[in-house]
Amino acid sequence: MSDCCSSAATTGSFPKKHSCPVNGKEFSQVSPATIKHHLKTPWLWQSKDQGYYFCSDPGCEVVYFGQDNSVIKKAELRTRVGIKEASNDALVCYCYGVTRAEAENNPLIREFVVEETRQQRCACESRNPSGRCCLTDFPNR
């Protein structure tokens, strides 16, 4: 598959995983560039020389956090984070606007996204709040 489905770009030599300061669970690194794409006011956010991480826990309001325990919550984003929402209209694919309901009800959609990914026509690293390939977020059939 394309580079967009490989691990999110990392910066520096920061730990690949870190614990969310709110729920204590360990999550994977995400690039500051990904964070900027989803903030309501990216021009006000200053990234620091530290690792940043994506909290995928649906019960936690934190979406991003830094090694210094700084947090960015759902309310600070312009993007709805599908993995943190229970509704059927939550996105599972940000590149093509596929909702959870669409992915559950139409197996052709997954095939389409797989092929687009193979052809390197996706932008998961910036469009998906996790900074990773959306295919892992598709419902299991």
39 is in which domain, residue-wise? 8-76
Does residue 109 share a domain with residue 57? no
* Longest distance between any two alpha carbons in the chain, whole Å: 43
Is a pLDDT exceeding 50 seen at residue 2?
no
CATH of residue 40's domain is 2.20.25
Ramachandran quadrant class, 112 (left: phi over 0; alpha: psi -120 to 50; beta: rest):
alpha
Reply yes or no on whether the pLDDT at 3 is more than 80: no
pLDDT in tens, 6-56: 444 445 689 999 999 999 999 999 999 999 999 999 999 999 999 999 999
Question: What's the number of domains the chain is made of?
Answer: 2
Give the model's pLDDT for residue 137.
87
Q: 51 and 100, same structural domain?
A: no
- Listed in order, strand segments (DSSP E) in 36-115 are 52-54, 62-66, 71-73, 91-93, 98-99
What is the structure's pLDDT at 10?
Answer: 47
With CA atoms as reference, report the closest residue to 86 among 73, 102, 74, 100.
100
Residue 37 domain flag: yes
First to last CA, the chain: 21
pLDDT in tens, 69-128: 999 999 999 999 999 999 999 999 999 999 999 999 999 999 999 999 999 999 999 999
pLDDT band at 4 (very low <50, low <70, confident <90, very high): low
pLDDT at 15: 95
Query: What is the spatial distance between Cα 122 and Cα 109, in angstroms, rounded to a whole number?
Result: 14
Convert 12-63 into a string of H (helix), E (strand) and C (coil): CCCCCEEECCCCCCEEEEECHHHHHHHECCHHHCCCCCCCEEECCCCCCCEE
Same domain assignment for residues 67 and 50: yes
pTM (2 d.p.):
0.88
Judgement on whether residues 59 and 90 belong to the same structural domain of the protein: no
- The answer to whether residue 141 scores a pLDDT higher than 50 is yes
Q: Which of 44, 76, 108 is the last residue of a domain?
A: 76
